Structure 1
Amino acid sequence: MALLKFLFPPSLFVTATSLASFTTMASAGLSEFRGKNVEYSKFFNVGSKASNAEKSNKLTLPSRIAMATLYTPAFLAGVSSFAIFPEENLRFLLLKSAISIHFFKRVLESCFVHKYSGEMSVETMMTILSSYFISSALMIFTQHLTMGIPEPAIDLKIPGIILFLVGIAGNFYHHFLLSKIRTQGPNKEYKIPRGGLFGIVICPHYLFEVLVFWGFAFISQTLFSFAYAMGTTCYLLGRSHATRRWYLSKFEDFPQNVKSMIPFLF
């Protein structure tokens, strides 16, 4: 198979978890595209069919605390993997390091960069937390399963490192730009983002986050990491479409030529 030139041979376990991961993420992206949004940030209580009483009865946390909390287990999975799987080749070391760096960055951004306008339900927080933690742990575990197996014929580690570095830098830069357009104080207002790639897509931070996960996939070269990168791409395409739709509904002067996530295409 030509695919095996790029991937380690998958076991039944890896194939099953890869299919489950992709299906779950792609379904979530389709839900976002259709307007059933995960309830956090500006989408909190948007598109939900729950009654006001049900919404008010939901247990919530301040968004800063919730966002920092939901990234922490994935970060800990990356860090602890150095002790749990001390056997290392360069590929495994790069993957564990990339996962740890990415989620540590997200925790720091949640604490010190992002500005928030509301709260997040504990249910939503736990859903996202579980997704990131389980997927990170499985990326690491499936890499562990490749120890002793011959390397794929085509080595994608270097392109993976480049994708990861470009992705993490671009993601941080556009998160920083977003934080600069939010006003301080209790009455925070949304504005149309400017600068960077915001002139051509409304969610360049999602675009660069996708590059991070494709960086994981190219470094790892396991079926699971590729399935998760593809699933993440599908989810963030749906999320970016929902974000663009939200901006169109809030701002009459929103530029029609600005796409959702992929410049000039989507």
Structure 2
Amino acid sequence: MLQHIFNDRLFVTYICPYTWIISSVFIVIFQGILGIKAPYGRYNESNHGIPGRLAWFIQELPCFIIPCYLLSQYWSSISLIKFLLIIFFLIHYFQRVFIYPMLIRGGKHSSISITLTAFIYCCINTYSIVEEILAYHVFPRNDWLSVHFILGGIIFFTGFVLNLQADSILRNLRKDNNEHGYKIPRGGLFEYVSGANFLAESIEWTGYAICAWTLPALAFSIFVWANIAFGRALHHHKFYLEKFKDEYPKNRKAVIPFIL
């Protein structure tokens, strides 16, 4: 469909990535500097809209379906490195779409507008990243043996494991779905930062950007850092400080250990 609206390569390779990079600047200004909170999760004060589990499944589903579809379309011509890059992407989103929502305990509702916006973003961003890899980017032969691919893969899976650990720690703060209060998370990266899950996911997509070495993957990594690391994590840190006051660990930073 995009081919009938845009020059597909122009959209995938340049328009979409630069849109996310420019958007990242505004996100840092509005969320990080001005302190404006996106109204979902603990900041959805009305708690109206779509149940958290369902909202998460709906908005993240394109991130699994679109790569599977595009992989089937390019199957006869893909190289090993392209296949591996899509598999990395699918590993993350299989967990995010089919496992993570089922494990959520006591999550708040998400507004229809937020869920719809996230759904549209996931559709466009996923298409840009995957189409660039499969259709347009030229990878050197045996690039899967390159330093950037191996290093990026190590960073990606390190972030992935740390993300799973952080999610588990947060989830186990609540005994069941009927418990809605907040507690101080401890263990793992939470010993150093309030936004351990946000830092871990930012590390993960930084690794992916290094692996893929494409502009759409880099733009997504920048967007993740801006939105959840330098936005959401700062808000969570302030939330914990205000709620727990002197009880909250004084040496714990918001998102960058020992620094921020």
TM-score for both structures, normalised by structure 1: 0.84
Q: Which has the higher helix share?
A: 2
Aligned to 1:250: 243
The structure-2 alpha-carbon separation of the partners of 1:218 and 1:148, relative to structure 1 and needing over 3 Å to count, comes to: closer
Q: Structure 1: 5+ residue runs without aligned partners? A: 1-10, 46-54
Letter in 2 for 1:71: E
Asked whether the 8 Å contact 1:157–1:219 carries over to 2, the reply is yes
Aligned to 1:265: 259
Could you tell me how far apart the structure 2 residues matched to 1:97 and 1:30 are?
A: 34
Aligned to 2:24: 25
Could you tell me how far apart the structure 1 residues matched to 2:63 and 2:14 are?
A: 22
Matches within 5 A, 1:213-252: 213-236=205-228, 237-252=230-245
Letter in 2 for 1:258: R
Aligned to 1:182: 174
Aligned to 2:134: 144
Asked whether the 8 Å contact 1:114–1:176 carries over to 2, the reply is no
Could you tell me how far apart the structure 1 residues matched to 2:44 and 2:175 are?
A: 19
Could you tell me how far apart the structure 2 residues matched to 1:125 and 1:108 are?
A: 17
Aligned to 2:5: none
Deviation at 1:187, TM superposition (A): 4.2
Aligned to 1:35: 35
Which whole-Å deviations, capped at 9, do the CAs of 1:106-141 have from their partners, x for residues lacking one? 123433322134211011011122222211110011
Aligned to 2:90: 100
Comparing 216-225 and 108-117, the one that deviates more: 108-117
Asked whether the 8 Å contact 1:81–1:96 carries over to 2, the reply is no
Asked whether the 8 Å contact 2:53–2:107 carries over to 1, the reply is no
Could you tell me how far apart the structure 1 residues matched to 2:177 and 2:219 are?
A: 42
SS in 2 for 1:120: coil
TM-score for both structures, normalised by structure 2: 0.85
The structure-2 alpha-carbon separation of the partners of 1:22 and 1:264, relative to structure 1 and needing over 3 Å to count, comes to: same
Could you tell me how far apart the structure 2 residues matched to 1:198 and 1:147 are?
A: 38
What do you get for the CA RMSD once the two structures are aligned?
2.2
Aligned to 2:62: 73
- Aligned match of 1:166 in 158, 162, 182? 158
Which whole-Å deviations, capped at 9, do the CAs of 1:86-114 have from their partners, x for residues lacking one? 12112211121111111111123433322
Deviation at 1:264, TM superposition (A): 0.8
Could you tell me how far apart the structure 2 residues matched to 1:149 and 1:118 are?
A: 43
Number of aligned residues: 244
Q: Provide the identity percentage.
A: 24
Q: Structure 2: 5+ residue runs without aligned partners? A: 1-8
Deviation at 1:150, TM superposition (A): 4.9
Aligned to 1:113: 103
